[in-house]
Amino acid sequence: MLQAEVAFYIGGVNLQERLSALGQPTVIPRPTALSRRHLDCQNLFDVCLAISMNKHIVGNDVEAHGKNLIITTGANQGGKSTFLRSVGVAQLMM
């Protein structure tokens, strides 16, 4: 069990080093209470895309305070799926 937990933390350190080498920002998130609807991100990017392309990725800013529903719209090939993937990965990594 200890080996698996240590491997997780080593993976996190390796990921942070790789993203820093690509010039991507990293942060320590501040989770809020479940009763408080709050989503606020600056320069949010798809980690998987940055690593697979091996270059700096431009991020998105999001500010949704007190919102029950967020609708993402845009043209085909406009980055909607990439944006949603970046939100999902950020939530998982938090």
Name the pTM for this structure.
0.78
What is the pLDDT at residue 31?
Answer: 83
Residue 22 corresponds to which tokens in the numbers above? Answer: 């690509």
What is the pLDDT at residue 92?
Answer: 86
Low-confidence ranges of the chain (pLDDT < 70): none
What is the pLDDT at residue 14?
Answer: 95
